[in-house]
Amino acid sequence: MKSALYLYNTISRKKEMFEPLAPPFVGMYVCGPTVYSEAHLGHARPAVTFDLLYRYLMHLGYQVRYVRNITDVGHLENEVDDSGEDKISRKARQENLEPMEVVQKYMNSYHTAMEKLNTLPPSIEPRATGHIIEQQQLAERLISKGYAYEVNGSVYFDVEKYDSMHSYGILSGRVLEDMRANSRALEGQDEKRGQFDFALWKKASPDHIMRWPSKWSDGFPGWHLECSVMSTKYLGDTFDIHGGGMDLIFPHHECEIAQSTASQGHSPVRYWVHNNMVTINGQKMARSFGNFITLEELFTGSHKMLVQAYSPMTIRFFMLQAHYRSTLDFSNEALLAASLGLQKLLTAERTLASLKPSDESTADIRGLSKKCYDAMNDDLNTPVAIAQLFDAVRIINLVNDGKEKLSAADITSVKELFKVFVHDLFGLKAGESVGNDKLAGVLQLLLDMRQEAKARQEWSVSDRIRDRLSELGITVKDRKDGCDWEITA
RNA sequence: GGUCGGUUGGCCGAGUGGCUAGGCAUCGGUCUGCAAAACCGGGUACGGCGGUUCGAAUCCGCCACCGACCUCCA
């Protein structure tokens, strides 16, 4: 272990030293997407955040089981609406598809986007539909323990009862009594005993497509059950880390705690870790605001709010430049800044590879690595770690200019620093190289001819080559000794 | 209304009771046939009003504003 990692635990509201239950093993469960539409910007934040945590834990030497679910039973679109249609069913009806076709389509979209963002695949990616039986079993267990009741073929969790025995709201800081005082009673029929009770099993209306048989009714599992079931099934009754977006704290994670505590006497989770939300031009991203951007639109620049495309690595770097518990505001200006910053970082790494060692060092690069680790250990403070990397960038460039010197040993340790932080932990990789060697060869030929033209002072020829390549999205970069090129579009 | 979080320089975004965050932009310079690229360097900051303190942007109080959650949501 390098040193102690501190993580902010939502339930204690403090940074706590991370100590796994059974080292060297670590169990981490993260709430994944409901697959009823294209993967969007909001999906990227937790994916990148917990990918970072996953990578860091492994780097520290832990053996991590990373479980991230796919919710493929659509949560109810509108609980009050008695039609009880869920998101996936609705989408299936609208697009005239099987629900599982909808699920497959958007799951593929999610996976593709995640791969582009260079997030490592989880160890297990369980799906709600694959755990219907276990969910029924948990519902049954909660009934037998007196924490749940059946009405008209549906099963509800009795929040009042639970609150009288334990305490409902410990994660989100809510008090049931206050909630009662501050919310109007919902109008109309409700088969629930208490207004805060939530469904464990829901009877399907006749036209509801996704349904499974059960002792209570043909229906489908409730909102929060799948995560309780799948996390403990694969990670045990008590596991180390449960992650997800902050918007899931209430009611989703609160209900998970209630279900598990009611069924097994204690919460299964030791550290609750939540990432903050993404905003766009200062506004929450929501369909109703018209600022809803899918990851594919971002990567291709096809959304009307985007002035250009932003590469997956730019998105990733942009997210890492902010702390995961801060809201992160997307704008063209901010993304462009991130993209240029990333380019600078990666360019310096190429410079580093060709640096000439000196007998001694005049620049101090020791300490940078420790500062990076310190930052990571302080609740994954990636922006501070990145600032250290830019310090290294400045030194690399100064050495390259002959204004500072680095010994061979120091150069090696800077290389190691970049390898560990830029690549292994931050998961950043250099942009696409040329698809194949032939193109590289052709380019080299063109650039050689341009150099010769320049030597003969035939500027019209050399400029023409440069301009035509530029139109093709290839930027020619003249250097003191020869020239370099980069695919920029 | 309730709960929680935030307000940092042109933009994004860290952080600490006294010591330059960093990136982008801008300005100056190096380089260059020109341009771009690349590199170096400089400046501008901590919402308002009180308080604690030798000293606060950092702690406390009040006010203003913004956001998240309270319904599905990453």
In chain A, how many domains are there?
A: 3
Burial of residue A446, with CB atoms counted within 10 A of its CB: 0-12 exposed, 13-18 middle, 19 or more buried: middle
Residue ending a domain, choose from A275, A301, A321 = A275
A49 and A185 housed in the same domain: yes
A87 contacts A208 by C-beta, under 8 angstroms:
no
pLDDT tens track of chain A, all 489 residues?
446 899 999 998 888 999 999 999 999 999 999 998 899 988 999 999 999 999 999 999 999 999 999 999 876 655 444 455 678 888 888 888 889 999 999 999 999 999 999 999 999 999 999 999 999 999 999 999 999 999 999 999 999 999 999 889 889 888 888 777 766 555 444 688 888 899 999 998 888 888 999 999 999 998 899 999 999 999 999 999 999 999 899 999 999 999 999 999 999 999 999 999 998 877 778 766 667 889 999 999 888 888 888 999 999 999 999 999 998 888 888 999 999 999 899 989 988 988 889 998 888 888 899 999 999 999 999 999 999 999 999 999 999 888 889 999 999 999 999 999 999 999 998 765 555 678 778 888 888 899 889 888 899 999 999 888 888 878 888 877 778 777 765
- Determine, yes or no, domain membership for A94: yes
Distance between the alpha carbon (CA) of A42 and the C1' atom of B24, Å: 24
A345 and A382 housed in the same domain: yes
A99-116 vs A41-59: helix crossing angle, rounded to 10: 60
Distance between the alpha carbon (CA) of A333 and the C1' atom of B32, Å: 29
Residue A369 amino acid letter: S
Which residue gives the smallest C-alpha to C1' distance to B24? A337
Nucleotide nearest to A178 in CA–C1' terms:
B2
What is the span of the domain harbouring residue A454? 437-487
Which residue gives the smallest C-alpha to C1' distance to B73? A247
- Determine, yes or no, domain membership for A182: yes
Distance between the alpha carbon (CA) of A284 and the C1' atom of B35, Å: 42
A139 and A259 housed in the same domain: yes
Identify each DSSP E strand in A105-222 by its residue range. 148-151, 154-157, 198-203, 219-221
Distance between the alpha carbon (CA) of A485 and the C1' atom of B58, Å: 46
- Determine, yes or no, domain membership for A153: yes
Residue ending a domain, choose from A250, A275, A300 = A275
Distance between the alpha carbon (CA) of A247 and the C1' atom of B74, Å: 8
A415 and A447 housed in the same domain: no
A171 contacts A10 by C-beta, under 8 angstroms:
yes
A263 and A114 housed in the same domain: yes
Q: Provide the positions of strand B that have an atom within 7 A of a protein CB.
A: 1-5, 10-15, 21-25, 31-41, 66-74
Nucleotide nearest to A80 in CA–C1' terms:
B71
A93 and A192 housed in the same domain: yes
Q: Buried b vs exposed e over A324-343: b needs ≥16 C-beta within 10 Å? A: bbeebebeeeebeebbebbb
Nucleotide nearest to A223 in CA–C1' terms:
B72
A124 and A261 housed in the same domain: yes
User: What is the C-alpha separation between A191 and A189, in angstroms, rounded?
Assistant: 7
User: What is the C-alpha separation between A405 and A402, in angstroms, rounded?
Assistant: 7
Distance between the alpha carbon (CA) of A128 and the C1' atom of B14, Å: 39
ipTM of the complex in this document:
0.92
Beta bridge partners of A23: none
Per-residue pLDDT of A107-124, as tens digits, reads: 999 999 999 999 999 999
